[in-house]
Amino acid sequence: MIIDAKGLKKTFTSRGRKGTRTVEAVRGVDLEVKTGQIYGVLGPNGAGKTTTIRMLATLIRPDAGTAAIAGHDLLKEPAAIRRALGYVSQAGGVEEQNSPRRQVMFAARLYGVADAAAATDRVLKRFDLADIADRPGRTLSGGQKRRVSIALGLVHTPPLLFLDEPTTGLDPQNRANLWDRIRELREQGTTVLLSTHYLEEADALCDRLAIVDHGVVVAEGTPAELKREVSGDVVTLRLDEPERAAAVLGPLAREARVDDQVLRVYVDDGEHTLPKLLSELQEQRLALTSISLDRATLDDVFLAKTGRSLRDTGAEA
């Protein structure tokens, strides 16, 4: 167990013109991450993902709770944790004026890496940055900057890497590329804790994940386990009277749920249940606009646990 956190809490107080305002960003998070995993923290914006990661990275002090990271106590041995940890914030921390090589080399020195120049060369090469290593940071593309920021967090070869929303703002190609890099890290034995609000990312990349909402973990497990928990398949129907249809189809399914005029029917065996659903609808004279059959996704898990769809709550540009 490389991360073992229990009951982490953090409340922020901001003083404004209209008096003090408190935000309970994290309301009791437990996390257990085994060595060598890619562990995801999935949740909408504002769920407390970044606050949780920043607490574990020794950047903010939790109000309550305990955590052991790489065998060190979070509150008593922050210096030891910092040595064992690579942390890449969402902002990235790439300097505009400085070249990647200078920045990475300086980071290596700050970490006390024995041969800073060699370590810098190695990590720049590994992230395909050798060709652009001497250009000023401001001339780099979004994908390149993201790779520089990860190189900055990895130059001291930590056993544990935190990535806060690593692919936010990247185009699909750069995102896929970054996923491969993260998988490579796992193959080399690095444990990765990453936060994301992308369902596909959590599903495709993570060995285990914690789904967080409003500062608490609402579900935890492997993506497959979590989806199995909800149901095998989901039939999504659009029709004029979703409420009545839900009542009609309910007995044939494990669950039928209306969400924003869309009826989702959860069934164990979609291929065989679909004809029965259709004939039942016809019998009850319910006119159908569209129908689709999909495997349950993590969004269905989120919906089942929170009553909301992550796609809606995570609605942003």
Contact positions toward another protein, by CB under 8 A?
54, 57-61, 79, 82-83, 85, 87-98, 102, 106-107, 109-112, 149, 152-153
Q: Which is nearer to another protein, 2 or 249 (CB)?
A: 2
In sequence order, what DSSP letters do the residues of 22-41 get, joined into one string?
Answer: EEEEEEEEEEEE-TT-EEEE
In the complex, what is the shortest distance from the CB of residue 11 to another protein, in angstroms, rounded to a whole number?
15
Side-by-side strand order, sheet with 3-16: 19-33, 3-16, 64-69, 72-73
CA–CA separation, 102 and 240 (whole Å):
62
In the complex, what is the shortest distance from the CB of residue 86 to another protein, in angstroms, rounded to a whole number?
8
In the complex, what is the shortest distance from the CB of residue 61 to another protein, in angstroms, rounded to a whole number?
5
In the complex, what is the shortest distance from the CB of residue 113 to another protein, in angstroms, rounded to a whole number?
11
In the complex, what is the shortest distance from the CB of residue 139 to another protein, in angstroms, rounded to a whole number?
15
Q: Which is nearer to another protein, 71 or 307 (CB)?
A: 71
Sequence-distant (≥ 6) Cβ neighbours of residue 47 within 8 angstroms: 197, 212, 213, 214, 215
Give the phi and the psi of residue 206 in degrees, each rounded to 5. Answer: -90, 140
Give yes or no for a contact between 287 and 299, defined as CB atoms under 8 angstroms apart. no
- Dihedral over alpha carbons 159, 164, 166, 168 (to 10 degrees): 170
Q: Which is nearer to another protein, 95 or 259 (CB)?
A: 95
In the complex, what is the shortest distance from the CB of residue 167 to another protein, in angstroms, rounded to a whole number?
16
Q: Which is nearer to another protein, 107 or 230 (CB)?
A: 107
Q: Which is nearer to another protein, 81 or 209 (CB)?
A: 81
Q: Which is nearer to another protein, 10 or 175 (CB)?
A: 10
Helix, coil or strand: residue 181: helix
CA–CA separation, 70 and 33 (whole Å):
10
